[in-house]
């Protein structure tokens, strides 16, 4: 059941309310909107509008500014108090920039100067309802992050990852060797740890080593252990990972970079389930499950016989670009985690920011996304993390909400192109001015109030920009 005065559920028809003291204007607008939307109401005064909103949920209000008794700006303030998430589009017959900026500061979604074309009002209504839909998706994501029942804490909602989780649940309880393949940053070690936690060895140790990061002699000492006096500096016996796991799991990362001579010794250890420590004379029994990983699609650098021993179960972790539907869920999860870690209070990604994140290709995969979100949490002021807070590695610009649709009518495509230009221009302008709005406005040759109006129209929280001044 929907609370009165709050926007209607996304599954229902959006409800639109037209407010104008002119019966002819309101009737014309209702007729225009009803061609595209089923639930369109009219009110001929601000008081009638508030009464309607008390009796039923309204998603979007289109209101004239100049009305007797209570004008549109006062109505806007009352609507935002009564139903904060209801969007309001203001109409003015005077084309006053000052009035429009005032409306934006009070929380208006957009303003339109009379006289206007039907296409213009329809475009703003469509944009507003799309934004509401995005906001509801964001709220749904937050709920799902809180309730997520995924595999051992790994966050995902894409079919590829959910199918992978089902497969992991089947293989985890066995002792079969597992080879995990995937690009750097996809979370191969997380998968390995999750398999360990789901296995019968969960109460024992999980020990990992990057086999490509150590020189051959040191790698063998770490894997197989050594005896006192085996080499300079060996002042006491030391167990290797394979034996010290004692019923647990050993994770061999970057196995494709392991020296060939060490591969031969590892193969023997796996075949015989025993190792000969460096400088030792007798073998030591091994009781460990072996999970290996490689970020290389080419496995020519691994001995064929060792490869078959290690890859009884082979798992491919898909790159983030192949499961973009996971980006909003992961980003929301990282925001909550880093906001808590850095004591930054309640933080949330705006719908525009989430949309921008889902249009980047993420060559660094989940690790890159995590780093971008970590930075955004640190540098953002206020609760909202917007597009301007998102900095891609290497200075790449965050992608825009969408490219201009070439199949749109000319005027609508032009309006979208202008909106894209404005967002990119303002983001760059503020970045060069270190977030100082006055300095940015001066550089652009416009007033500070006009820039605030543009920022509000684009969904950029002006409070954040003030908070960034140096």
Tell me the average pLDDT of the chain. Answer: 83
Dist. CA 248–CA 199, nearest whole Å: 9
- pLDDT of 98: 72
Least confident span in 88-92, 198-202, 352-356, 419-423: 419-423
Radius of gyration of the chain (CA): 30
CA max distance for the chain: 100
Q: Which two tokens stand for residue 355?
A: 């949309």
159-317 fold: Rossmann fold (3.40.50)
Q: What is the pLDDT of residues 247-306, one digit of tens each?
A: 999 999 999 889 888 999 999 999 999 998 888 888 899 999 999 999 876 677 889 999
- Residue range 15-133, CATH number: 3.40.50.2300
- pLDDT of 137: 73
89 vs 395: which has the higher pLDDT: 89
Domain ranges of the chain: 15-133, 159-317, 322-467
Asked if residue 164 lies in contact with residue 377, where contact means CB atoms within 8 angstroms, the answer is no
Say which residues have a Cβ less than 8 Å from residue 382's Cβ, sequence separation at least 6: 461, 463, 464, 467
Q: What class, spelled out in words, does domain 322-467 have in CATH?
A: mainly alpha
Same fold? 159-317, 322-467? no
> 3-state DSSP: the chain helix, strand, coil percent, rounded to 5?
50, 15, 40
Total-model pTM:
0.59
Give mean pLDDT, residues 386-392: 83
For residue 321, what pLDDT band results from cuts at 50, 70 and 90? very high
Choose among 110, 144, 158, 138: nearest CA to 357: 138
Q: Which two tokens stand for residue 80?
A: 């935002």
């Amino acid at each position: 059941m929907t609370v009165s005065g709050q926007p209607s559920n996304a599954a229902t028809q959006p409800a639109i309310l037209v407010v104008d003291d002119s019966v002819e204007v309101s009737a014309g607008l209702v007729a225009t909107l009803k061609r595209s939307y089923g639930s369109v109401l009219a009110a001929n005064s601000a008081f009638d509008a508030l009464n309607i909103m008390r009796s039923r949920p309204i998603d979007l209000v289109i209101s004239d500014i100049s009305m007797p008794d209570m004008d549109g700006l006062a109505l806007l303030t009352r609507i935002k108090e009564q139903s904060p998430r209801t969007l309001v589009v203001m109409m003015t017959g005077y084309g006053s920039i000052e009035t429009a900026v005032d409306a934006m500061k009070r929380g208006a979604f957009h303003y339109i100067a009379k006289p206007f074309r039907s296409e213009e009002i329809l475009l703003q209504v469509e944009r507003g309802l799309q934004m509401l839909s995005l906001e509801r998706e964001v709220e749904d994501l937050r709920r799902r992050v809180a309730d997520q029942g995924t595999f051992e804490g790994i966050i995902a909602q894409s079919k590829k990852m959910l199918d992978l989780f089902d497969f992991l649940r089947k293989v985890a309880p066995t002792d079969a060797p597992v080879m995990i393949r995937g690009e750097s940053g996809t979370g191969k070690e997380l998968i390995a740890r999750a398999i360990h936690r789901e296995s019968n060895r969960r109460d024992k140790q999980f020990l990992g080593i990057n086999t490509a990061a150590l020189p051959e002699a040191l790698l063998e000492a770490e894997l197989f252990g050594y005896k006192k006096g085996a080499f300079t500096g060996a002042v006491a016996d030391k167990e290797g990972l394979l034996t010290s796991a004692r019923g647990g799991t050993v994770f061999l990362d970057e196995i494709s970079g392991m020296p060939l001579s060490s591969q031969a010794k590892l193969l023997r250890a796996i075949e015989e389930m025993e190792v000969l420590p460096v400088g030792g004379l007798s073998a030591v029994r091994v009781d460990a499950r072996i999970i290996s990983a490689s970020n290389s699609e080419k496995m020519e650098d691994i001995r064929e016989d060792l490869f078959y021993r290690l890859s009884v179960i082979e798992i491919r972790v898909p790159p983030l670009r192949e499961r973009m539907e996971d980006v909003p869920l992961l980003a929301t999860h990282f925001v909550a985690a880093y906001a808590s870690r850095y004591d930054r209070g309640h933080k949330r990604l705006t719908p525009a920011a989430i949309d921008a994140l889902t249009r980047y290709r993420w060559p660094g995969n989940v690790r890159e996304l995590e780093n971008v979100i970590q930075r955004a949490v640190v540098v953002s002021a206020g609760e909202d993390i917007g597009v301007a807070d998102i900095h891609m590695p290497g200075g790449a610009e965050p992608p825009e909400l969408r490219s201009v649709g070439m199949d749109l009518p000319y005027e609508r495509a032009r309006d979208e192109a202008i909106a894209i230009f404005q967002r990119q221009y303002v983001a760059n302008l503020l970045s060069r001015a270190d977030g100082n709005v006055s300095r940015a406005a001066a550089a652009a040759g416009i007033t500070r109030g006009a820039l605030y109006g543009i920022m509000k129209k684009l969904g950029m929280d002006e409070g954040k920009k003030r908070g960034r001044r140096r």
